C-alpha cells in the first residue's frame, strides 16, 4: 500500500461544500433520494465537529460525516478521492472520527454499507468493523427534491 502524503484532517467548513459534493459524486455516494447539499445543511445543525474533511495541498480529498445521539455513533459519507484511495487516508479519517466519538463517551460505532459494495465492506472489515446480526429498516420522513 502506498502511503498518502500528509493530509490535514479537520472539521468541514462552509467553503468546502462544492468540493465535498463533487467528491461524493466522484465516489458514487449521491443517490436521487438524497440531496447532498441538504444532507450537509442537516449535519451542520447537529454536531458539526463530527463532519470531517481531509485536505491535501488546499484540496478536499476525503470526507466523513459522523454522528452521535447518545447511544451509538454513526459513520456516513466516507469518501476518498479515487486518485488517493488505498493509501491509508480512509483509515486515518475513520480513526479521527472514532477518537472524537470516544471523547463523547460513545460506546459503539455503527454504519451502513450497500450489500453490493464489496470494496467498502472489505475496507471496513480490514479496519475492525464486523457484521452485526441486525436488519436495517428505514422510513423517509422528508423527501428530497433532487430532480
- 118: CB partners within 8 A, 6+ apart: none
Instruction: Provide the whole-model pTM.
Output: 0.91
* Structural contact between residues 89 and 5, judged by C-beta atoms closer than 8 angstroms: no
Give, for 91, the enclosing helix (H) or strand (E).
helix 89-103
Q: Report the pLDDT averaged over residues 105-131.
A: 94
Q: How far apart are CA 5 and CA 96, in angstroms?
A: 17
Segment 39-63, tens digit of pLDDT: 999 999 999 999 999 999 999 999 9
Q: For 65, which DSSP code? A: E
Q: How far apart are CA 1 and CA 117, in angstroms?
A: 21
Q: How confident is the model at residue 147 (pLDDT cuts 50, 70, 90)?
A: very low
Chain centre to alpha carbon of residue 91: 11
Q: Which domains does the chain have, with CATH numbers?
A: 8-126 (3.40.630.30)
The three cell numbers of residue 12 are 468541514
* Structural contact between residues 43 and 51, judged by C-beta atoms closer than 8 angstroms: yes
Q: How confident is the model at residue 143 (pLDDT cuts 50, 70, 90)?
A: confident
| Of residues 20, 24, 1, the one with CA closest to residue 11 | 20
* Structural contact between residues 24 and 16, judged by C-beta atoms closer than 8 angstroms: no
Q: How confident is the model at residue 140 (pLDDT cuts 50, 70, 90)?
A: confident
| Of residues 82, 43, 48, the one with CA closest to residue 62 | 82
pLDDT of residue 51: 98
> How many other C-beta atoms are found inside a 10 Å radius of the C-beta of residue 106?
21
Amino acid at each position: 500500500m502506498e502511503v498518502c502524503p500528509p493530509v490535514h484532517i479537520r472539521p468541514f467548513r462552509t467553503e468546502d461544500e462544492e468540493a465535498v459534493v463533487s467528491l461524493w459524486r466522484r465516489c458514487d455516494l449521491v443517490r436521487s433520494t438524497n440531496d447532498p447539499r441538504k444532507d450537509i445543511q442537516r449535519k451542520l445543525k447537529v454536531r458539526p465537529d463530527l463532519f470531517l474533511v481531509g485536505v491535501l495541498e488546499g484540496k478536499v480529498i476525503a470526507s466523513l460525516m459522523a454522528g452521535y445521539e447518545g447511544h451509538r455513533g454513526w459513520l456516513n459519507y466516507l469518501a476518498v478521492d479515487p486518485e488517493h484511495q488505498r493509501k491509508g487516508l480512509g483509515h486515518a479519517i475513520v480513526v479521527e472520527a472514532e477518537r472524537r466519538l470516544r471523547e463523547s463517551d460513545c460506546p459503539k460505532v455503527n454504519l451502513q454499507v450497500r450489500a453490493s459494495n464489496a470494496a467498502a465492506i472489505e475496507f471496513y472489515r480490514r479496519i475492525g468493523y464486523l457484521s452485526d446480526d441486525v436488519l436495517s429498516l428505514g422510513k423517509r420522513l422528508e423527501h428530497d427534491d433532487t430532480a
